[in-house]
Amino acid sequence: MRFSRPLDPRTADAAHFSVRKVGSLDGVGNETPVDEPVAVGVFLAQRRTGEILVEITPWQNPDPQSRYELRVEADVLGLDGTPLGTPFVSRF
């Protein structure tokens, strides 16, 4: 994920960035809802060029027959202490 401002490194962790498995597809594309946490590593890279990246890496390869949800909590802080304000959720 790319951010537009520097982040407080204490909030760039697996408690603030998470992935959950939310669906499993059968052979014909029917989805069964599930709710399973996915173990991830969260790595912050703030470069002198102004690029701020948070890399979220699952510890195991994701199942291509599943759907996942990435969540960024609202209490992720900028380096100035300002929170993001609202959670961010994306499904893939």
Residue 11 has what DSSP assignment? G
Task: List the pLDDT tens digit at each of the 92 positions of the chain.
Answer: 999 889 999 999 999 999 999 999 998 889 999 999 999 999 999 888 788 999 999 999 999 999 999 999 999 999 999 998 899 999 99
- Count: domains in the chain: 1
Q: What is the domain-level CATH number for residue 61?
A: 2.60.40
Biggest distance spanned by C-alpha atoms of the chain:
49
CA distances from 90 to 10, 18, 50, 82 (A): 23, 11, 24, 22
Residue-number span of the structural domain to which 72 is assigned: 2-91
